[in-house]
């Protein structure tokens, strides 16, 4: 699949450095805990910020025989190297307010020692340091290319932190965490590169120059430390270290390392003999070390640790996405001009490609000549009789990456003979321009005089396999083929099957629509499923699984099934009798579960789509406000659901029931008509954070969504996608 130069760079950089990145991130997590463990040691005294340098130096001079130096570290712990009254040379933490010993210096734990060496050089000395420096730079480039990809995805810089639709775990968190970790990662990589350059002396040299005029040094006027301005006016928090005079000789002075400069001070008079600002390189090096290691700040160290964990996640999720994209490869057996069927695909992340490949493979299996290509590779197809375009939509109704040039190429190509075309759009209702690019392609194809539209553009929300199967059925009927998709590949996981006993079943002939309800009790009392989940049934050992939306009624699995004349699974279920058992899989369908926190839910269904809602009504113990709009053909169609509904109404589990019959009166009434009639009420449900759930046929879903879109625009002045993004619209149509 063609990918953009930015995505390619992002991927190539990641592939070339991921082993080093993993090692650096892993050791980085360990090292982030070093400054944290240091800081939680209690060597910082209260009121530290108020202590003056004069106070501490005086205490040190009084308490010890000799003082060599004193240091203040990033944690504000003060240490001193002294000769004690007993004549021992010692270095320890002191209380700056008294000069007394507080404790021994913190020794670096062996784990941190190990991690530091590994993180810096992978135990490979200079060679390792070079690798680590390069890895740091590559990670910086990965962050930059990732930023460009996010900007492109969001279609503008301004929307960089805008909402991301959660369609896929890896992709969603790769982007969301990528944005959050961007700044820390850029800082940690740039400082890493800087420290490597510094270590290898590749930065310009700047040295600190001090000029002491030894001829003018004088012992008078002698002053007490507290009267020497440089000591009494300097707070300890401004000091990095103090080197004490080596002897009483007036030419030996104090060397004060302050935060921004070095000052040399006459030990008798307190006169500043010389002072110099640190060179920029030294300041930058110190800042780099602090930013890179998190020294001195628990918060920053924690941010760095989280960024390192995120880096490990990016490696994982990046590879998951790449493998998914690579899985969707295009393979042709025949030449483009020899094929009767041509499938063109517009895809960015590979899922539409997988679906298109399924059709391509099934056509080849049936002995048909099929050719598959990306939309950007559009060309002449001499033997093409049926063109199928399967395309996703990106941005604001734009083409996916591998279809970006299709419109231009299309305009340059002249077809020579008649062909049929059908367009399938993959998209998501979470975006305002649902499957818009599919409609663009359809309109474009209509401009070709040789092209005849075989089917209207068909839209698929959230990669619904059921919806795609439905389209395949319509299309294959039109072209005179019998295509059966190997659904297992997409929907079947390795989860184990359970045994269910049939405890209730209605008789199909009692219902005017050839529909029945059937209830299964899971064996061994299994009850960890919810209304809205799916039951996957294989009617025969080698057939594809069929999925049914279930209701949980009386802790059992409740299905409503329409028997199809030639339907393998519906007839298999219809032949079951009370007492029979069945092996099937329960699939969690999180997207169509009803949260207990939802206060108000408006349920819309037609036909057998009522099943999950009957379960939700039956389970409604938390006083949720439930309203049901159901569409059926005749009054008799409703009979088999009546008991559960009446029980719901009686016990106030269901507050409102609206039914639309399409074949009872002269005028056909459908659910969307009732919704239109109750437009203000529907708008109120959304406005008050209620949820709308739709279950049933795709055709009904389409009509209902059009009405809901219009209601949102008219009454709420917002597109429906806003509510979809907030989780207030849940769909399960097939």
Ligand X SMILES: Cc1cc2nc3c(=O)[nH]c(=O)nc-3n(C[C@H](O)[C@H](O)[C@H](O)COP(=O)(O)O)c2cc1C
Q: Note the residues at the interface with ligand X (CB under 6 A).
A: 153, 167, 347-353, 392-397, 400, 426-428, 431, 433-436, 463
Closest CA to 47 of 264, 236, 243, 288: 236
CB of 511 to ligand X, least distance (A): 36
CA geometry: angle at 510 spanning 506 and 511, to 5°?
A: 90
CB of 357 to ligand X, least distance (A): 11
Q: Which is nearer to ligand X, 164 or 707 (CB)?
A: 164
CB of 167 to ligand X, least distance (A): 5
What are the structure tokens assigned to 404, written together?
Answer: 């970006």
CB of 180 to ligand X, least distance (A): 18
Asked if residues 67 and 82 have their Cβ atoms less than 8 Å apart, the reply is yes
Closest CA to 464 of 512, 429, 499: 429
Q: Which is nearer to ligand X, 348 or 732 (CB)?
A: 348
CB of 349 to ligand X, least distance (A): 3
What DSSP line would sit under 82-110, residue for residue?
EE-TTS-EEEEEE-TTT--EEEEPPPPPH
Closest CA to 70 of 272, 47, 250, 59: 59
Cis peptide, bond prior to residue 221, ω within 30 of zero: yes
CB of 387 to ligand X, least distance (A): 18
CB of 427 to ligand X, least distance (A): 2
Q: How many residues does the chain have?
A: 734
Residue nearest to ligand X (CB): 427
Phi/psi at 589 (5° precision): -120, 75
Distance from CA of residue 371 to its chain's centroid?
A: 35
CA geometry: angle at 714 spanning 710 and 719, to 5°?
A: 60
Q: Which is nearer to ligand X, 153 or 689 (CB)?
A: 153
CA dihedral sign, ordered 674, 675, 676, 682: positive
Q: Which is nearer to ligand X, 353 or 467 (CB)?
A: 353
Distance from CA of residue 165 to its chain's centroid?
A: 9
CB of 728 to ligand X, least distance (A): 18
CB of 172 to ligand X, least distance (A): 9
**Integer Cα distance of 145 and 17 in angstroms:** 15
Q: Which is nearer to ligand X, 170 or 598 (CB)?
A: 170
Closest CA to 259 of 236, 289, 281: 236
CB of 163 to ligand X, least distance (A): 11
Q: Which is nearer to ligand X, 43 or 431 (CB)?
A: 431
Q: Which is nearer to ligand X, 394 or 471 (CB)?
A: 394
Q: Which is nearer to ligand X, 168 or 655 (CB)?
A: 168
Q: Which is nearer to ligand X, 428 or 627 (CB)?
A: 428
Q: Which is nearer to ligand X, 191 or 347 (CB)?
A: 347
CA dihedral sign, ordered 445, 446, 451, 454: positive
Q: In Å, what is the CA distance from 120 to each residue of 192, 270, 302, 306, 719? A: 9, 43, 20, 19, 53
What DSSP line would sit under 310-356, residue for residue?
HHHHHHHHHHHHHHHHHHS----SS-GGG-SEEEEEE-SSSHHHHHH
**Integer Cα distance of 106 and 38 in angstroms:** 8
């Amino acid at each position: 699949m063609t990918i953009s130069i930015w995505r390619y760079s992002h991927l190539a950089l990641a592939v070339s450095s991921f082993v080093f990145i993993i090692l650096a991130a892993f050791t980085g997590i360990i090292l982030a805990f070093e400054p944290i463990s240091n800081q939680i040691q209690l060597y910082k005294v209260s009121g530290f910020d108020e202590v003056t340098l004069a106070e501490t130096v005086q205490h040190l001079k009084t308490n010890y025989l000799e003082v060599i130096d004193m240091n203040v570290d990033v944690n504000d712990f003060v240490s001193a190297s002294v000769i004690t009254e007993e004549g021992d040379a010692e270095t320890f933490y002191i209380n700056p307010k008294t000069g007394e010993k507080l404790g021994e210096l913190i020794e670096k734990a062996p784990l941190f020692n190990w991690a530091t060496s590994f993180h810096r050089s992978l135990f490979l000395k200079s060679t390792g340091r070079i690798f680590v420096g390069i890895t740091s730079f590559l990670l910086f480039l990965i962050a930059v290319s990732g930023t460009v990809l996010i900007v492109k995805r969001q279609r503008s810089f301004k929307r960089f932190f805008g909402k991301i639709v959660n369609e896929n775990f890896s992709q969603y968190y790769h982007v969301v965490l990528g944005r959050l970790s961007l700044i820390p990662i850029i800082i940690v990589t740039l400082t890493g590169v800087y420290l490597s350059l510094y270590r290898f002396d590749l930065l310009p040299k700047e040295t600190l120059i001090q000029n002491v005029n030894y001829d003018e040094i004088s012992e008078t006027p002698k002053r007490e430390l507290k009267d020497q301005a440089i000591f009494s006016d300097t707070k300890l928090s401004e000091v990095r270290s103090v080197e004490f005079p080596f002897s009483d000789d007036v030419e030996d002075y104090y060397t004060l390392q302050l935060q921004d400069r070095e000052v040399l001070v006459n030990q008798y008079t307190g006169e500043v003999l010389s002072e110099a600002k640190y060179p920029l390189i030294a300041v930058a090096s110190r800042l780099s070390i602090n930013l890179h290691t998190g020294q001195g700040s628990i918060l920053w160290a924690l941010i760095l640790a989280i960024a390192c964990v995120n880096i490990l996640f990016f490696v994982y999720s990046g590879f998951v996405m790449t493998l998914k994209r690579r899985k969707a490869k295009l393979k042709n057996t025949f030449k483009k001009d020899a094929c009767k069927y041509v499938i063109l695909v517009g895809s960015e992340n590979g899922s539409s490609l997988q679906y298109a490949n399924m059709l391509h493979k099934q056509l080849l299996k049936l002995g048909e000549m099929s050719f598959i290509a990306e939309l950007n590779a559009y060309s002449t197809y001499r033997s093409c009789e049926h063109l199928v375009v399967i395309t996703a939509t990106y941005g604001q109704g734009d083409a996916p990456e591998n279809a970006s040039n299709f419109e231009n190429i299309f305009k340059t190509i002249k077809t020579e003979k008649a062909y049929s075309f059908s367009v399938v759009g993959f998209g998501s209702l979470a975006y305002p321009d649902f499957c818009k690019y599919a409609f663009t392609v359809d309109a474009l194809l209509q401009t070709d005089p040789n092209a005849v539209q075989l089917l209207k553009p068909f839209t698929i929300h959230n990669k619904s396999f059921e919806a795609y199967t439905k389209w395949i059925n319509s299309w294959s009927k039109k072209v005179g083929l019998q295509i059966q998709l190997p659904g297992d590949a997409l929907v079947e996981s390795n989860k184990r099957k359970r045994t269910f006993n049939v405890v209730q079943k209605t008789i199909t002939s009692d219902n005017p629509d050839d529909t029945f309800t059937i209830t299964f009790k899971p064996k061994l009392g299994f009850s960890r499923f919810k209304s809205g989940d799916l039951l996957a049934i294989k009617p025969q050992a080698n057939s594809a699984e069929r999925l049914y939306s279930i209701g949980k009624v009386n802790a059992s699995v409740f299905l409503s099934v329409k028997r199809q004349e030639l339907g393998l699974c519906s007839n298999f279920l219809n032949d079951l009798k009370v007492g029979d058992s069945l092996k099937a899989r329960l699939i969690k369908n999180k997207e169509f579960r009803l949260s207990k926190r939802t206060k108000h839910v408006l349920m819309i269904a037609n036909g057998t789509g009522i099943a999950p809602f009957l379960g939700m009504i039956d389970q409604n113990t938390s006083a949720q406000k439930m309203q049901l709009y159901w569409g059926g053909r005749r009054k008799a169609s409703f009979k088999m659901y009546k008991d559960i509904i009446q029980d719901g109404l009686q016990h106030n589990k269901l507050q409102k029931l609206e039914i639309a019959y399409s074949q009872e009166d002269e005028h056909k009434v459908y659910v969307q008509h009732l919704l239109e009639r109750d437009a203000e009420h529907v708008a109120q449900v959304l406005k008050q954070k209620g949820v709308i759930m739709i279950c049933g046929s795709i055709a009904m879903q389409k009509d209902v969504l059009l009405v809901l879109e219009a209601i949102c625009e008219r009454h709420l002045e917002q597109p429906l996608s806003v509510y979809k993004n907030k989780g207030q619209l849940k769909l399960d149509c097939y």
